[in-house]
Chains A and B, each alone.
Chain A
Amino acid sequence: MKFVKALASATILAACTFGSASAADLVVGFSQIGSESGWRAAETTLTKQQAEQRGIDLKFADAQQKQENQIKAIRSFIAQGVNAILLAPVVATGWDEVLQEAKDAEIPVILLDRTVDAPKELYLTAVTSDLVHEGNVAGKWLVDTVAGKPCNVVELQGTTGSSPAIDRKKGFEQALAGKDNLKIVRSQTGDFTRTKGKEVMESFLKAEDGGKNICALYAHNDDMAVGAIQAIKEAGLKPGKDILVVSIDAVPDIFQAMAAGEANATVELTPNMAGPAFDVLDTYLKDGKEPAKWIQTESKLYTQADDPMKVYEEKKGLGY
């Protein structure tokens, strides 16, 4: 009974904020997966920054890679009567019950960066990037850059079987489809790590006539590209000139490489998922208009022309 009362008062409170239509009084709960990678640390930093800029009171909960912690956090957000919940789900399944509880309490839930296997009406929307599109952007850049000249491409794949590896490969191949001048001659997994990226690139260089046969490298993430760049340098070639380097993620270190002329392009997987989420939330709370169920973040292409050192300085402090 007490719980229902709390819920009721929360709803009334929420209704009041709807009325005033000011973001300043918003309280938003954010259940983050944990600190699994530099990218996620940057996502947390940016979410906090975005909330501060908009005057939103962000309640942050770190789940330490455990779903039960996330479910607990969401239940506590509901009990506290927050206006909305951001959720970066650690796994895809098992969310139906807790999402239903949030829905019953009329608290909109926005999924960040990953989606869940639950009925779509249980959450407001999902803000994620399109992995296939990222590969596509990288592929298009290469197609435009070589401009019809024959070009042998080597590919460093992510961890075999992981969805970024599958989708980024697919998108890149789609961009290259029908372009007979571009050919993927070698493709191996570098497990998303610098060490393996370097080791596999060394073998590519040996296998393709000391690298003379290779005109471009496509890496599924920047870390593998950074490792591969070192291998290219040690083989006596110039990365960025003798071998074009394009990769995905846009972590700070690749901008240093771009500033040095050793990498050519990267596609950003933006850690700012919260910005679009807050925008959507704002419109929803003001007008009550349901947004689309999927909001795709921008996969922005950065090249050497985009003042890489400046971007590096901007990104450095985000906790990557």
Chain B
Amino acid sequence: MTSTVRTYLTRLLPQLIALTIILAAISIIFPGFLNLQIQNGRLYGSLIDILNRGAPVVLLAIGMTVVIATKGIDLSVGAVMAICGAVSASLITSGHSLAETLLVTLAVGILCGIWNGILVAVLDIQPIIATLVLMVAGRGIAQLITEGAILTFNDPGLIYIGSGSFAGLPMPVIIWLVFGVLVALVVRQTALGMLVEAVGVNREASTLSGVFTPVLLVAAYVLSGLCAAIAGVIAAADIKGADANNAGLWLELDAILAVVVGGTSLLGGRFSIAASVLGAIIIQSINTGILLSGFPPEFNLIIKAAIIVFILVLQSPRFRAAFQFVSIPRAAGKPTEREAK
């Protein structure tokens, strides 16, 4: 048991160190950063903001991790968020119950995933192109649903998902924590995770050894679509409206970045959901830190890029090899992935 914990910690060490450095740096620039207090029966503070604002990217990153582990990529998640936000807003405003709304919305997300999955697994289209289709078309579909305007709603149940709180934590945080743990358990307590990795490393070999790859691939994109649907509902509920033009805009890139910062190779194979979640939290910490720092907005993207480059350089095998004597113990998965290239 202790050895599993140790393996986990070793795997997550680079991300944990990066996160600690970033949090420490922000609290130097902005002293009140780590303060937490109870307000209106819920925890209140910048750290909670990071967990809460990071919710959409964390959810997208969970799905993206599994897709990337199959050597795929899902560019459509931002657009699927917009579609699902629009679907949920239009259903709730046309008088459907909350349960119906959520069920249909999640079903739409799953449907988007099946579409992507079929393009990739059955028609054998390269994932980047296959999902680009829905990335472009999806926003148009969302705009058709909302008729180009921001569709606002006042249903307290749906709003609760975005800005309510449970056990002192904002609902979005509860949702991604529970969902993340569920997905991690399903893929790691069964052989699913290993099969996904096998498909990612060598699809043909896996098929030949009896893995039913098409179903597995479709399932990965379905998970990604489901994650995007949940993220879309949260994003819409947060602002009490579905903004088809802006919901989830460019978030697919943040999600991919989160997976990469989390140390999962874009070439497929070994993956860690926990590391991707940490990656997403790192990205959100940078965003929140920049907002708190009070720098002029022109610097936002430059600062973000500089920090990300720094983290990625730290993770690069060449850099680590050069600084072996100061480097931290690293996960066993890394070198094999490198060799796989």
Contacts and interface: CB of A to CB of B under 8 A. Distances in A.
B239 A203 contact: no
Contacts of B163: 230, 234
Contacts of B297: 157, 160, 187-189
Contacts of A95: none
Given A188-B297, A195-B238, A206 B148 contact: no
A206 B150 contact: no
Contacts of A187: 296-297
B288 interface: yes
A206 B49 contact: yes
Nearest to B163: A234
Contact of A223 (B46, B150, B294, B296): B150
A67 interface: no
Given A206-B45, A230-B163, A236-B39, A195 B152 contact: no
Contact of A38 (B49, B150, B240): B150
25 contacts: A35-B143, A37-B245, A38-B148, A38-B149, A38-B150, A41-B149, A160-B297, A160-B298, A160-B300, A186-B294, A189-B300, A193-B246, A194-B150, A194-B239, A194-B246, A195-B243, A199-B49, A199-B287, A202-B49, A203-B291, A203-B292, A206-B45, A207-B291, A235-B44, A319-B147
A191 B292 CA distance: 17
B92 interface: no
B239 A198 contact: yes
B238 A198 contact: yes
A195 B49 contact: no
Nearest to B245: A37
A186 B292 CA distance: 9
B291 A200 contact: yes
Contact of B288 (A41, A198, A203, A253): A203
Contacts of A227: 239
A191 B294 CA distance: 16
A206 B149 contact: no
A236 B40 contact: yes
Interface in B247-296: 247, 287-288, 291-292, 294, 296
A320 interface: yes
A193 B148 CA distance: 14
Nearest to B37: A210
B12 interface: no
Interface string B146-169: 011110100000000001000000
A188 to B, nearest CB: 5
Nearest to B162: A230
B241 interface: yes
Interface of A: 35, 37-38, 41, 157, 160-161, 186-189, 191, 193-195, 198-200, 202-204, 206-207, 223, 226-227, 230, 234-236, 253, 319-320
Contacts of A191: 246
A35 B140 CA distance: 11
Residue from A186, A202, A203, A319 whose CB has the most chain B CB atoms within 10 Å: A203
A235 B298 CA distance: 27
Interface string B16-41: 00000000000000101000000110
A195 B247 contact: yes
A194 B243 contact: yes
Contacts of A157: 297
Contacts of A161: 298
A-B residue pairs, 7 tightest by C-beta:
A203-B291, A189-B297, A194-B239, A193-B246, A38-B149, A160-B297, A35-B148
B150 A253 contact: yes
A236 B149 CA distance: 29
Nearest to B40: A236
A59 to B, nearest CB: 22
B239 A253 contact: no
A200 B289 CA distance: 11
B223 interface: no
Contacts of A41: 148-149
Contacts of B149: 38, 41, 319-320
Contacts of A188: 291, 297
B69 interface: no
B137 to A, nearest CB: 15
Given A41-B148, A230-B240, 9 more contacts: A37-B148, A160-B297, A189-B300, A194-B243, A198-B238, A200-B291, A203-B291, A236-B40, A320-B149
A77 B241 CA distance: 39
A223 B84 CA distance: 21
